[in-house]
Structure 1
Amino acid sequence: METPINIQTTPRRIRQLLNSQFGRFAMVGAAATGFQYLLLILLAELTPLNTVACSALAFTISALFNYLANYYLTFQSDKCHLETLSRFTVTAIIGLCINTLVFYCAELIMPHYLLSQCVATVITLISNFLLHKYWIYK
C-alpha cells in the first residue's frame, strides 16, 4: 500500500531539502551539469572534435561555475580561494578522469553520446560530493 502524498507538507519538504547542504549541492550540481550538457551538445554538433574530447572540455568549462557556486552557496566557505581553489582543481581533475573514463567506456555500448554522459555523471557525482564536503571547503 502506497503512502499518499500530503500536498500541505510537500513545500516544507522541498524547503528542507534546499536548506540542507546536500540539497544545495544537488541544485548547484544540476545547474553545472545542465551547463555541461549544453556545452557538450554544442561542441559535439558544431565542432570537428570527437565526443570524448567534447565531454572532457565541457566538464572542464563547467567546473569553474561549479567551484564558485559551491564555495558561496553550498558550503559558504570562509577559507581563502588560494587554498580551496587548489583543492578544487585536484578534485576537478579526479572528476574529469572519472567522467572521461566512464564516458569512453559507456560510449562503447551506448547508442548515443548523451546516454554515455548520463552514466558518467551519476558515477562522478558521488566522489565529487565527498571530496567537496570533506576536503575542499572544510
Structure 2
Amino acid sequence: MNILLRNRYTRAIVQNETTMQAAKYFIVGGSCTVFDFTMLFGFTHFLQINYLISSVLSFTISAIVNYYLCVNWVFNIRVVEKRHREFIYYFFLSVIGLGLSTLLIWMFTELVGLYYMFSKLIATFITYWVNFGTRKYFLHTRK
C-alpha cells in the first residue's frame, strides 16, 4: 500500500513538474518565436534574402538563444553533464526541428500558396511540440 501511495505521489510530482516545464518552455518558446519571426521578416524583407535561407538563419539563431534559456530556467534535470556535449545534442535535435520546419514552410508556401510568414506560423505550431518532446525526453529525463 505504501509503495502504491508513493508511486501516485511520485507520478503527481512528475506530472506537476512536466506541466511547469511546459509552461516555462511556452514562455521561452514564445519569446524565441517572436525573435525568430522578426529575424525571418527582416532578413527576407529588408535584406532580400530568400525566405527559406532566412528561415534557416533565424531558426538557428533563435535555437541557440532557446538552448541557453532552457538549460538555465526551464529544465532542472541535466542528463548530459558536460555542457558542450549537451549543446551538441540539443543542436542536433534542433536540426531535426529545423528540417521539419523548413519542409513545412516550403510546402505551405510553394505547394499551397500561402504567404511565407503564415507558413512559418503553421510550421511553428507543429515544431513546438516536436522540439519540447524530444528535448524533454532525450536531454532532461532521467532514464
**1:91 paired residue number:** 93
**1:80: how far off?**
2.7
Give secondary structure in 2 for the equivalent of 1:60. Answer: helix
Moved more, 79-88 or 55-64: 79-88
1:1-138 correspondence runs (5 A): 20-78=20-78, 79-108=81-110, 109-138=112-141
Q: Distance in 2 between matches of 1:26 and 1:52?
A: 25
Structure 2: runs of 5+ lacking an equivalent = 1-15
Q: Distance in 2 between matches of 1:26 and 1:80?
A: 26
Deviations 1:52-91 (A, max 9, x none): 1111111011111100000011003443312311110111
Question: What stretches of structure 1 move > 6 A for 4+ residues in a row?
Answer: none
Percent identity for Structure 1 against Structure 2 = 26
Moved more, 110-119 or 77-86: 77-86
Structure 1: runs of 5+ lacking an equivalent = 1-15
Q: Distance in 2 between matches of 1:82 and 1:76?
A: 17
Q: Distance in 2 between matches of 1:77 and 1:31?
A: 22
| RMSD of Structure 2 on Structure 1 (CA) | 1.8
- TM-score computed with the length of structure 2 as normaliser: 0.79
How many equivalent residue pairs?
122
**1:136: how far off?**
1.9
- TM-score computed with the length of structure 1 as normaliser: 0.81
